[in-house]
Amino acid sequence: MTGAGSRTAEIRRLARADGESAARLLFGLLRDLFGIEARSIRFNHDQYSLNSLNGFLEAGSEDFFFKFHQEEGEEAMSGEYYRADILANAGLPVDRPVHVSALPGEQILLYRRRSDPRFSDVLRQLDLEPDNEAEEQALRAERELSEKLLAVYRATLHPVTAEEVAAEPIHRLFHERLIDPRTGAMPGGRYAGFYIGRTVRFPDLELAWDDFAKARFVINGRRYGSTVGELFAAAGERLRPERLADAGGVTAHGDAHNANVWYEQNGGSPRLVLFDPAFAGRNVPTLLAEVKTTFHNIFAHPLWLYDPAEATQRYFARATYSSGTLAVETDWELSRIRRGLLEVKALQLWRPLLRELKHRAMLPEDWRRVVRLALFLCPALVMNLRAGASSHTPASSLIAFSVAVMAGSEPLDGTDMISRFLDAIDPDQPGARRLA
């Protein structure tokens, strides 16, 4: 159930404007689902909850952390939510919920309350206030998690059928946001709702969507081959679930952005623990398994996706439009900690995983295109990137679309952060290329 029939959707809608009404609805949901009589609820209003809601509640003598995710039209979508046991049984560090509901429109997880910060909060602080010792601790924890993930991917990599892949819920984060969930028509879903027939606004510039979607980007003097419209069209075709069986499947979380990762203090040696396995599965298309993690933990930072107002204060961005070309200038760039995370992710996870696929003759010739299109959809459909339609400003919207194009399109001249990343993970390249 969605819309008016979805209690989680209604709770999300009310939480910011009418917390008391949202709490009453959540009290009733917890009573109906789990027989829990909560006596207090506090909603968290953080920048990472783009498609979810979380907070704390007290029930009896216990304190809980709750979280739920809600997609438009989810009752018509494939796959089953919330399978934490899959990850735990595979050997991944995962926080198991105490109570789970996977009913459409009523998905919710309850965890025992922790004092650990989320890794996203730790890294945001390091974006703003670099600290050598704290950064090394964070990178060490990332390296250890990458080793565990790689071991699980290698152990669980297997051929899959188109039907097995299509049944995985991870497609809700990619292809199913492009289409009408009932008819499969494209454009539909978030793609149509966010952008088709709309206007984009940048500093001192407005463009109708049709003109913007056809524009050729030049970012800081570097030309890009694909337009936004071409990238959406290509993603709609190549990322169809039944076409993603060619690289096999693995057991994966699928949505391990760092707001879904605890930074657990472990005797002075922090370790990372996953939670909220809404899109976990045993047949996750291998090339999608780390895409959300890579984009949302690295390229979405610092600030522009989750803190648009702050990014607008810190970074410069402007554009001019002439004869179908959008020329962008910006001083936004990855922070030191994000560059360090990118190197770990590239050299300790992506590259050996792609080498494993190549060794088993399971690496598609167009793997680079598949990864790029999936990276492109991460920002483009996680929220509405148009200024004024969400929290984005004209400047942060321009940065957002520029990073999305860099993710999706090969540069026609020179290299950028995404092309260097892809070169570093390419198993046909002789030796791993460092990114720093």
pLDDT at site 107: 80
End residue of a domain, out of 112, 133, 155: 112
**Is the same domain home to 72 and 179?**
no
| pTM for this model (two decimals) | 0.90
Helix (H) or strand (E) holding 68: strand 62-69
> What whole-number distance in Å separates Cα of residue 243 and Cα of residue 334?
33
The model's confidence at residue 84, banded by pLDDT at 50, 70 and 90, is confident
* Statement to judge: residues 198 and 49 lie in one domain: no
Query: For 171-210, how does the pLDDT look when each residue is reduced to its tens digit (9 = 90+)?
Result: 999 999 999 988 999 999 999 999 999 999 999 999 999 9
Buried b (16+ CB within 10 A) or exposed e, 264-278: beeeeebbbbbbbbb
435, part of any domain: no
* Residue at 430 is within a domain: no
Among the listed ranges 33-42, 66-75, 139-148, which one has the minimum average pLDDT value?
66-75
- Give the type of residue at 253: H
Are 259 and 312 contained in the same domain?
A: yes
Tokens of 369: 């295109």
Q: Given 95, 112, 129, which residue is the final one in a domain?
A: 112
> Do 94 and 132 fall into the same domain?
no
In terms of domains, do 45 and 191 share one? no
In this structure, the chain runs to a length of 436
Structure-token pair, residue 47: 């920048």
Count of helix runs (H) and strand runs (E) in the chain: 16, 15
Q: What's the farthest any 2 CA atoms get from each other in the chain?
A: 66
- DSSP β-bridge partners for residue 43: 55
Residue 271 sits in which domain range?
119-425
Answer with the one of 112, 142, 158 that is the final residue of a domain.
112
pLDDT > 90? residue 7: no
Q: Are 153 and 353 in contact (CB under 8 A)?
A: yes
The reply to whether 70 and 158 lie within a common domain is no
List helix spans (H) across 60-187.
84-90, 119-128, 132-156, 162-166
Strands 325-330 and 216-219, how do they pair? parallel
Give the CATH number of the domain where residue 70 resides: 3.30.200
Interval 315-319 mean pLDDT = 98
Quick check: is 92 in a domain? yes
Q: Tell the residue number behind the tokens 């020329």, with chain if given.
A: 327
> What are 53's strand-pairing partners?
68
The CA angle 71-255-78, to the nearest 5 degrees, is 45
Whether residue 70 is predicted with pLDDT greater than 90 in this model: the reply is: no
Peptide bond into 187 cis (omega under 30): yes
Q: What is the mean pLDDT of residues 215-236?
A: 98
How far apart are the two ends of the chain, measured CA to CA in Å?
47
pLDDT at 434: 63
Between residues 57 and 361, the one the model is more confident about: 361
Mean per-residue pLDDT, 29-52: 83
158 and 68 within one domain: no
Instruction: Give yes or no: residues 59 and 169 share one domain.
Output: no
In a domain, 432, yes or no: no
Q: Are 139 and 91 in a shared domain?
A: no
In the predicted structure, residue 3 carries a pLDDT above the cut 50: no
Q: Which tokens belong to 165?
A: 């892949």
Q: Domain count for the chain, please give it.
A: 2
Task: Kindly tell me if the per-residue pLDDT of 73 is higher than 60.
Answer: no
Tokens of 141: 């924890």
- CB of 73 within 8 A of CB of 181? yes
- One domain, residues 64 and 138: no
- 401 to 1, 65, 127, 256, 381: CA distances (angstroms): 32, 34, 21, 23, 11
Q: Is there a single domain that holds both residue 127 and residue 108? A: no
Q: Is residue 436 part of a domain?
A: no
- Asked if residue 214 belongs to a domain, the reply is yes
Whether residue 197 is found in the same domain as residue 346 = yes
